[in-house]
């Protein structure tokens, strides 16, 4: 609306200058209607209609998802596996680099890993041998201890059996000395008890001898010997742990070296279309550093979803919001209009070189379908029209019906400020009505306050609108 009123105001000022020059020259103004004649004007009725406010901005077609692919390691391009226009899938290799430095580091890591593995194998063998020797000595000591304990118990059992046998012997001898006065049954039991005790004693004695033989058969290492084998075992275990740690570090170093070499094959992280290949075979490439960008190798874009990156003027940026509808045209396809939706508005503006006006990068996702959108390519110039607001039943008049006049409400009737007004025809005269405007589009402006639906407002000619005053006589004709 502000832009429309500005155009109208500039035109009014230009006509006023022409009129002033003609008056000073003593020439009758072509806009001089006289004091008694009625000005011929054309009118339209204020009516309700749908008005949509729109923001226009230049832009360019871009892929919603695109990525410039760099190398993470320095190297020389050995082979390029894709060309612009090729369709690729996520993870697909794009090109291969070569690096003598990385190849050498990998070979050194492999040799170190092989040496560490060999040392670890030897240390494991030594540890197993030392542990076996130490365990053998410990086991011998355990066997001797068990045999000695069994022998000691056998000696005790033998002594108990001997004491029992001696007791049975004394009882039997006692009954034998009694002669014919003792019952035969008692004598027989005493004899039988003695014989059984003798047998148990003989068994106990033979068990003691067997236990003694087992003790004698065990070769018992001295404590110094056992301590020596234990020290050898502890040393072998410590060495094995140390070499195991070194072998693990060597394996990790090999893994890292292999990862660096693997980086020489460049893969795409996304699927899409190759839009640029910016290197050639034999070219040296470098990774990015803190203050230095790396070499761009390949650009991949997902052309399945396109956007327009529009530069919205700062005067319009605050009215643009996510979700608003937009229409897009391209210079390359002037006969087609595409639909879209705002999906992102920059939080901060950027001033273009040589300009004091900031622009806000606004992304509009294209939602049209069909063959024509498939012809669009990233980089094509585009023009965006964003629908920022819509009033479906707004009281509206043509843009040219609203003119600016000095604010009569100012103190003393004098003011440098100007307010929008329209001229409403009633009978043969016009009334100046100060209005409050709302949304505007290419042809109409919304009137929020000041007139009613059906009021006949003056729209033509502009020279009449520029000269009209409140209460002037007019000859009005409804514009068809």
| pLDDT at residue 179, rounded to an integer | 57
- Note whether 158 and 235 are same-domain residues: yes
Query: Tell me: the pLDDT tens digits for 428-444?
Result: 999 999 999 999 888 99
User: Which of 222, 256, 290 is the last residue in one of the domains?
Assistant: 256
| pLDDT at residue 402, rounded to an integer | 95
Which residue's entry shows tokens 């996702």? 365
- Note whether 44 and 110 are same-domain residues: no
Angstrom CA distances, 377 to 56, 62, 85, 374, stand at: 21, 7, 11, 8
Angstrom CA distances, 161 to 152, 213, 350, stand at: 14, 20, 112
Maximum Cα–Cα distance across the chain: 191
Our count of domains for the chain comes to 2
Whether 190 is in a domain gets the answer yes
- Note whether 111 and 189 are same-domain residues: yes
Spans in the chain with pLDDT lower than 70: 1-36, 177-184, 290-291, 408-416
Whether 358 is in a domain gets the answer no
- Note whether 206 and 116 are same-domain residues: yes
* Entry pTM: 0.58
Question: What CATH number should be reported for the domain holding residue 417?
Answer: 2.40.420.20
Give the structural domain span for 32.
2-53+393-478
Residues 6 or more apart whose Cβ sits within 8 Å of residue 395: 46, 47, 48, 446, 447, 448, 451, 452, 453
Q: At what angle do helices 184-217 and 100-177 cross, to 10 degrees?
A: 150
Distance CA 204, CA 159 (A): 8
| pLDDT at residue 463, rounded to an integer | 86
Whether 158 is in a domain gets the answer yes
Whether 447 is in a domain gets the answer yes
Sequential DSSP letters for 441-453: -SSEEEEEES--T
Instruction: Tell me how far the alpha carbon of residue 36 is from its chain's centroid.
Output: 77
What b/e readout covers 407-427, taking b as 16+ CB neighbours within 10 angstroms? eeeeeeeeeeeebbbbbbbee
- Note whether 30 and 146 are same-domain residues: no
- Note whether 25 and 122 are same-domain residues: no
Give yes or no for a contact between 220 and 141, defined as CB atoms under 8 angstroms apart. Answer: yes
Whether 443 is in a domain gets the answer yes
Give yes or no for a contact between 273 and 85, defined as CB atoms under 8 angstroms apart. Answer: yes
Measuring CA to CA, which residue among 396, 388, 402 is closest to residue 49? 396
Which residue's entry shows tokens 């761009």? 296
Give yes or no for a contact between 299 and 276, defined as CB atoms under 8 angstroms apart. Answer: yes
Instruction: Tell me how far the alpha carbon of residue 324 is from its chain's centroid.
Output: 26
Whether 398 is in a domain gets the answer yes
Question: What CATH number should be reported for the domain holding residue 191?
Answer: 1.10.287
- Note whether 125 and 190 are same-domain residues: yes
- Note whether 31 and 114 are same-domain residues: no
User: Which of 256, 284, 300 is the last residue in one of the domains?
Assistant: 256
CB burial of residue 78 (10 Å; 0-12, 13-18, 19+) = middle
Residue 87: both structure tokens together: 């369709």
- Note whether 122 and 189 are same-domain residues: yes
Helices assigned H by DSSP within 27-73: none
- Note whether 124 and 245 are same-domain residues: yes
Give yes or no for a contact between 432 and 412, defined as CB atoms under 8 angstroms apart. Answer: no
Whether 9 is in a domain gets the answer yes
Measuring CA to CA, which residue among 407, 435, 409 is closest to residue 422? 435
Instruction: Tell me how far the alpha carbon of residue 21 is from its chain's centroid.
Output: 68
| pLDDT at residue 11, rounded to an integer | 43
User: Which of 211, 230, 256 is the last residue in one of the domains?
Assistant: 256
Whether 221 is in a domain gets the answer yes
């Amino acid at each position: 609306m502000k832009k429309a009123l500005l155009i109208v105001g500039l035109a009014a000022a230009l006509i006023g200058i022409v009129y002033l020059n003609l008056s000073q020259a003593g020439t009758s103004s072509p806009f001089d209607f006289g004091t008694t004649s009625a000005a011929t004007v054309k009118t339209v009725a204020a009516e309700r209609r749908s008005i949509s406010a729109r923001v226009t901005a230049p832009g360019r077609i871009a892929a919603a998802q695109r990525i410039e692919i760099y190398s993470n390691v320095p190297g020389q391009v050995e082979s390029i596996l894709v060309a612009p226009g090729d369709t690729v899938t996520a993870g697909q290799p794009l090109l291969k680099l070569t690096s003598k430095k990385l190849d050498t580091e990998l070979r050194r890591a492999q040799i170190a890993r092989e040496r560490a593995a060999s040392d670890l194998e030897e240390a494991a063998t030594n540890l197993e041998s030392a542990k076996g020797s130490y365990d053998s000595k410990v086991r011998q000591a355990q066997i001797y201890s068990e045999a000695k304990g069994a022998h000691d118990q056998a000696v005790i059992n033998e002594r108990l059996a001997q004491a029992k046998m001696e007791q049975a012997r004394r009882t039997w001898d006692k009954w034998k000395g009694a002669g014919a006065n003792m019952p035969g049954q008692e004598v027989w039991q005493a004899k039988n008890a003695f014989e059984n005790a003798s047998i148990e004693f003989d068994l106990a004695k033979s068990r003691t001898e067997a236990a003694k033989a087992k003790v004698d058969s065990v070769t018992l290492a001295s404590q110094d010997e056992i301590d020596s084998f234990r020290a050898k075992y502890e040393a072998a275990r410590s060495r094995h742990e140390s070499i195991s740690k070194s072998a693990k570090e060597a394996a990790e170093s090999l893994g890292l070296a292999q990862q660096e070499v693997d980086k020489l094959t460049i893969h795409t992280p996304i699927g899409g279309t190759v839009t640029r290949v910016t290197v050639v075979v034999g070219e040296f490439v470098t990774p990015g550093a803190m203050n230095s960008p790396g070499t761009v190798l390949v650009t991949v874009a997902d052309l399945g979803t396109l956007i327009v990156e529009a530069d919205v003027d700062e005067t319009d940026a605050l009215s643009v919001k996510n979700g608003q509808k937009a229409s897009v045209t391209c210079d390359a396809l002037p006969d087609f209009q595409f639909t879209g939706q705002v999906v992102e508005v920059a939080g901060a503006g950027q001033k273009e070189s040589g300009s004091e006006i900031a622009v806000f990068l606004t992304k509009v996702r294209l939602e049209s379908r069909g063959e024509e959108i498939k012809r669009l390519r990233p980089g094509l110039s585009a023009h965006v029209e964003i629908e920022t607001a819509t009033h479906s039943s707004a009281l509206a008049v043509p843009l040219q019906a609203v003119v600016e006049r000095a604010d009569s409400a100012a103190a003393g009737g004098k003011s440098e400020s100007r307010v929008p007004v329209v001229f409403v025809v009633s009978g043969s005269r016009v009334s100046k009505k100060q209005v409050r405007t709302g949304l505007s589009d290419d042809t109409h402006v919304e009137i929020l306050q000041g007139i009613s639906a059906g009021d006949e407002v003056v729209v033509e000619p502009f020279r009449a609108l520029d000269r009209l005053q409140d209460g002037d006589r007019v000859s009005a004709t409804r514009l068809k």
